[in-house]
Structure 1
C-alpha cells in the first residue's frame, strides 16, 4: 500500500517540509512516485521513518542517523552507547544548572533588598554577571566553599556590603598605585596586596587557601567578567589582570612550602 507525503506527515506527526528535507538529503527517499510525480511511501519507508524519528528523539543529528541506518549492525550499538553517555553528561550539567538556579533563588529571597540608588551607592560600577557565575559554577563544580560563599553573601546586611565594598575600593587604589609605579608583580608590595585580597575573601565569603586563590586569579587573567568584579572597567589598565594574577601566584609561592605547591 502506498501513502502520500501528506498522509505520512499526519501519521508521523511531522511536517511535509521535514519529509521533503529527508528526501533531499537521502535519509528517506520514497519508494515510488505517482504519475503526476508526487512522492509515494510504502510500509518499508514508514518503518525507516519510525527509526529516524526514534533517533531524532534521542537527539542524534541527521548525519549520525544516516550512518546508523546504512550500517545498523556495525554502528547502531556503539552510537547508542555513545549517545547514552552524552545524555548522562547533559543531565548532570542540567542538574548543576538547576542547583545554581536554586541557590540564586535563595539569595534573592534572603538577600538584603536595595533600591537601584542604594545599589549604585554601595556597589558603584561593580556588577555581578550571572553568565560568568553560571560558567564558573559548571567549570569548578559543586564545592562546600562555593556554597558557603553564596550563603554568607546572602546573609550580609546592607551595612556589611558598604564596609566590604569600601574595603575593596581602598585595596584597589593601592593596587593601581603599585601597578602604575611599575613595581614588579613578584615584588613585596604587590604580593602583600595579593595576600590582602586573599584575606578579604576569607573575611567576607569563604576561607581561601592558596590553591583556591591561584584559581581565582587565573580567572581574572582569562575572563574579563571575573576581573570586572575586582576592578571596574573604568579603572582597568592594559596588563593589570595579568599583573594581579602574577602577584597572587608569587604571594602563594612565597608563603607555601614546596610540598603544598606541587
Structure 2
C-alpha cells in the first residue's frame, strides 16, 4: 500500500510540475490568438481567434529579417563550436601529452567564469577589431565553448581505447581516427551539445544588445524587445504572437532531437 501511495505521489508531483512549467507557454499561445477585447478579461477560453496578431508581429517587429539573422548567427556559432570543440575534446580525452591535466584545468576554470564577467572585455576587443554591428561580431566571440569541450570529452572518455589502438594499427592517423571512429561513437553527445548551443545562442539577448545597431544585425529576442519598447508595446496579442514565432523553432528542434539530447546528456542508450 505504501509503495502504491509513494508511486501515485510521484506522478502527482510530476503532473503538477508539468502544469506549472507549461502554463506560461499555454498562456502565451492563448494571448497570441486573443482579440484585443479578450486580453485582459482573465478568461482562458476566447470568444474568437485573431490570427492577424501574427501578421502584425511579423511586419511591425520586422521578424523576417531578425529570424534570418538569428538563423545565420546561430548555425554559424554551432558549426564553429563543433569544429573547435570536437578536436579539443578528443585530444583531452584520448591523446596523452605533457600538460593535458593543466589544459583540462583551464577548461574547467573557464566554466567557473560567469558569462557576464567577460562581456565588457569581449565588447572592447570586438569594437577594436572593427567587428561591432556586424554578423562576425555576433559569431566570433562564441566560436568555441568550454562547456562543449568538457561535455564531449566526457562522452569520448567512454570510448574503449582498444578501438582507437585498432584504428592506429590499421594506419589511421589522429584526424582519420577522429572522423571515422570517434565522431560516430560520440554522436549523441555531439547532438546534445548542438541542441544546447542552438538554445543558448538563439535566445541570447545580452550580447546582441551590446553589439547590434542596424536592422541587419538584430536577432529575434532583441527585435521583440524593441517591438515592446516602441509605440506598439501595449499590443500584447501581437507581442505574444511574436514570442510564439521566435519560440517555435527551438521547440520544434527539441521535439525532433529530444531522444538524442537526453541520450547525450545522460550517456545512456535509449532503446528503439
TM-score by length of 2: 0.23
TM-score by length of 1: 0.24
Question: For the pair shown, which has the larger CA radius of gyration, 1 or 2?
Answer: 1
| Higher RCO, 1 vs 2 (CA within 8 Å, ≥6 residues apart) | 2
